[in-house]
């Protein structure tokens, strides 16, 4: 680890950004030395994205400047930022699936002469970059579409290494990774930092921050709220900097008394998973489903919501629901919030109002026309209930932060007045304050008698929020117990398909 007081490789001085009358970043300065791993923290909408987009040249600051290794970087010019040594790996990976590993790594920096690629020199650069990452086993000729998400991420990082990056920005890099790939990413990041690369690491998982980073930088409402060495602060200190208030209870508990079984799954099987799943869930119960990537949790959720075909019997409140029929599931009172917020959870090109009301338009229809005044009022009411930060109901969902988009997805199922919520990774990619709000909402609707199926890869939230937890592995339910009878260690063992104890 380098000395934090050594000469900085990155200097951001007085960065501000205004969009019309709205200021989203206010006079933010940062100094980052080689070999440091800095956690960039803040709630959704705090200014993190704007800040790193200015660093990477994607956004022109209203005021301020960026320097790398003593040289000023031309504002609003991504190529200038890359040439200066700033590389960014976004949460939504920007790889070309149809190209090889080599072509992705060299994209935009191809080596050639007289219009011909020099494959020999390119291959040497690519192998050097992969060797530096400790992954010489990754074949440069492999098509990227054949790789896992974790391996695709390595390709993006290798692209930065091949371009001789001095500063690497990782934006929510573990949000879609299994634990094995998270460990691999951390090992790679530490190795690069040990070689003198400066890293800015953005994450909402404070456990990850504590495990990987050595310092922190917190933004709140577009301003610097605090920074320093992680060794000298507690999680409570960081959370208070992020939200501007003390969060005494991240997992708020709402008193509830689950009733009789109302959701019954009998030998549910999909194509090819889930496999022969039989469960019953009680009225007012928060029922957790744990497991690793590929365990079949999402596939089970899609079967329940009618999005995928299935065999077996699904009944809710004694009504048998037809297979592969989303309309029948909605009519019966089931609603799903997808883990893929951008791909299928929300219509990004539509407004908040359209997204929130699309699954229940009957109250506003008459003679083929929509009563927009009543629909607007209903949307405003649910936005207030969930504290959605936006200009109004007609704002495009694509303009919202990730946390506020997730609230709109939840607004849809609440407006639908569903009696069974199927929530697939409902807190993925949202900040700690928003997580607490979502947990409180889940507890409240369960206390009102709603069935909640809570699917998560984050064992801690399942243990704190759920009444019972089922663990899936290889498409099957391995075990079901009251939440108090599980530990994180036991959950992991069961998710791995192991019966070992201890």
Q: What is the DSSP letter of 436?
A: H
Residue 88 main-chain phi, psi, to 5 deg: -125, 130
pLDDT level of residue 245 (50, 70, 90 thresholds): low
Q: Are 48 and 222 in contact (CB under 8 A)?
A: no
CA atoms of 431 and 452, how far apart (whole Å) = 22
Kindly indicate the confidence band of residue 207, based on its pLDDT and cuts at 50, 70 and 90: confident
Nearest to 24 by CA among 55, 1, 47, 2: 47
Exposure string of 193-206, with b = 16+ CB inside 10 Å and e = fewer, is: beeebbbbbbbbbb
Pick the CATH number of 261-495 from 1.25.40.10, 3.40.630.10, 3.60.10.10, 3.40.50.300: 3.40.50.300
Q: For 113-137, what is the mean pLDDT? A: 88
Kindly report the number of other CB atoms within 10 A of residue 457's CB atom.
21
Residue 6 is predicted with a pLDDT of 67
Residue 337 has pLDDT above 70, yes or no: yes
Mean pLDDT, range 301-317, rounded to an integer: 97
Task: Round to whole Å and give the CA distance between 155 and 163.
Answer: 12
What letter would DSSP give residue 73? P
pLDDT band at 110 (very low <50, low <70, confident <90, very high): confident
- Note the maximum CA span of the chain: 76
Closest CA to 34 of 173, 214, 226: 214
Q: Which helix (H) or strand (E) holds 375?
A: helix 372-386
Identify the three-state secondary structure at position 180. helix
pLDDT band at 235 (very low <50, low <70, confident <90, very high): confident
CATH fold of 10-243 reads Rossmann fold (3.40.50)
Q: Given CA atoms 309, 314, 317, 319 in this order, what sign does their dihedral have?
A: positive
Strand, helix or coil at 149? Answer: helix
Where is pLDDT greater, at 107 or 174? 107
- Please report, for the chain, the start and end positions of each structural domain, with discontinuous segments joined by +: 10-243, 261-495
Give residue 321's pLDDT band: very low, low, confident or very high (50, 70, 90).
Answer: very high
Q: Give pLDDT tens digits for 25-56.
A: 999 999 999 999 999 998 877 899 999 999 99
| Residue whose C-alpha is closest to residue 83's, from 92, 74, 91, 95 | 74
Residue 112: predicted pLDDT: 83
Over residues 126-176, the pLDDT tens digits come to 999 998 888 888 899 999 999 887 888 889 899 988 988 999 999 888 876
Q: Is the pLDDT of residue 438 over 70?
A: yes
Strands 286-290 and 468-473: parallel
Tens of pLDDT, residue by residue over 346-405, are 999 999 999 999 999 999 998 889 999 999 999 999 999 888 888 899 999 998 877 889
How confident is residue 502, by pLDDT bands cut at 50, 70 and 90?
Answer: very low
What pLDDT score does 5 carry? 59
Q: Let me know: does 192 contact 165? Beta carbons within 8 Å.
A: no
Angle of the 432-447 helix axis to the 402-415 helix axis, nearest 10? 10
Average pLDDT, the chain: 90
Q: What is the pLDDT of residue 242?
A: 86
- Please determine, for residue 250, whether its predicted confidence score (pLDDT) is greater than 90: no
Give 223's contacts (C-beta < 8 A, 6+ positions apart): 26, 27, 28, 47
Confidence band for 217, pLDDT divided at 50, 70 and 90: very high
Tokens 């663990």 sit at which residue?
Answer: 471
Residue 423 has pLDDT above 50, yes or no: yes
| Percent of the chain with pLDDT strictly greater than 90 | 65
* pLDDT score, position 501: 40
d(CA 59, CA 263): 49
- Which candidate, 383, 379, 295, places its Cα nearest to that of 339? 295
The phi and psi torsions of 15 (rounded to 5 degrees) equal: -75, 130
Backbone angles phi, psi at 423, to 5 degrees: -110, 110
Tell how strand 167-171 and strand 86-89 pair up.
parallel
Percent of the chain with pLDDT over 70: 96
Q: What's the average model confidence in pLDDT over 216-242?
A: 91
Q: Count H helices, E strands: the chain?
A: 16, 24
Using the predicted structure, report yes or no on whether residue 94 has a pLDDT greater than 90. Answer: no
The pTM is what? 0.68
Nearest to 151 by CA among 93, 207, 103: 93
For residues 58-84, give the mean pLDDT: 95
pLDDT the model gives residue 500: 41
Is there a shared CATH topology between the 10-243 domain and the 261-495 domain?
Answer: yes
């Amino acid at each position: 680890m380098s000395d934090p007081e050594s000469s900085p490789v990155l200097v951001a001085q007085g960065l501000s950004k205004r969009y019309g009358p709205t200021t989203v970043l206010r006079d933010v300065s940062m100094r980052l030395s080689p070999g440091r791993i800095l956690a960039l923290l803040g709630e959704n909408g705090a200014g993190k994205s704007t800040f790193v987009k200015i660093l990477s040249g994607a956004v022109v600051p209203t005021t301020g400047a960026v320097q790398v290794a003593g040289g000023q970087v031309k504002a609003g010019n991504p190529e200038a930022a890359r040439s200066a040594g700033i590389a960014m790996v976004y949460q939504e990976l920007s790889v070309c699936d149809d190209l090889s590993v080599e072509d992705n790594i060299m994209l935009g920096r191809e080596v050639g002469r007289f219009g011909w690629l020099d494959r020999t020199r390119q291959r040497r650069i690519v192998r050097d970059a992969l060797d530096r990452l400790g992954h010489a086993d990754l074949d440069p000729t492999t098509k990227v579409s054949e790789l896992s998400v974790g391996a695709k991420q390595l390709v993006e990082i290798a692209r930065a290494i091949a371009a001789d990056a001095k500063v690497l920005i990782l934006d929510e890099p573990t949000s879609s990774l299994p634990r094995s790939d998270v460990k691999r990413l951390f090992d790679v990041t530490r190795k690069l930092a040990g070689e003198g690369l400066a890293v800015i690491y953005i994450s909402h998982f404070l456990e990850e921050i504590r495990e990987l980073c050595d310092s922190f930088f917190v933004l709140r409402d577009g301003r610097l709220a605090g920074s320093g060495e992680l060794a000298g602060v507690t999680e409570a200190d960081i959370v208070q900097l992020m939200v501007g208030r003390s969060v005494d209870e991240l997992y708020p508990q709402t008193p509830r008394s689950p009733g009789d079984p109302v959701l019954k799954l009998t030998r549910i099987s999909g194509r090819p998973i889930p496999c022969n799943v039989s469960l019953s869930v009680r009225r007012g119960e928060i029922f957790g489903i744990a497991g690793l990537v590929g365990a079949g949790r999402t596939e089970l959720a899609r079967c329940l919501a009618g999005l995928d075909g299935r065999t077996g019997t699904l009944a809710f409140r004694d009504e048998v629901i037809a297979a592969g029929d989303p309309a029948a599931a909605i009519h019966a009172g089931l609603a799903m919030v997808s883990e893929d917020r951008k791909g299928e959870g929300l219509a990004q090109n539509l407004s908040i109002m359209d997204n929130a009301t699309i699954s229940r338009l009957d109250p506003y229809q008459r003679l083929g026309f929509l009563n927009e005044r009543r629909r607007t009022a209903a949307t405003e009411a649910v936005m207030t209930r969930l504290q959605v930060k936006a200009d109004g109901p007609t704002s495009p969902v694509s303009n919202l932060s990730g946390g506020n988009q997730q609230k709109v997805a939840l607004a849809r199922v609440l407006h639908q007045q569903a009696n069974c919520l199927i929530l697939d990774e409902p807190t993925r990619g949202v900040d700690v304050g928003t997580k607490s709000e979502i947990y409180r909402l889940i507890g409240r609707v369960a206390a009102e008698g709603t069935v909640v199926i809570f699917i998560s890869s984050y064992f801690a939230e399942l243990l704190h929020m759920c009444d019972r937890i089922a663990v899936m592995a290889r498409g099957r339910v391995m075990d079901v117990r009251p939440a108090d009878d599980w530990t994180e260690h036991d959950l992991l063992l069961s998710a791995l398909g192991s019966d070992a104890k201890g």
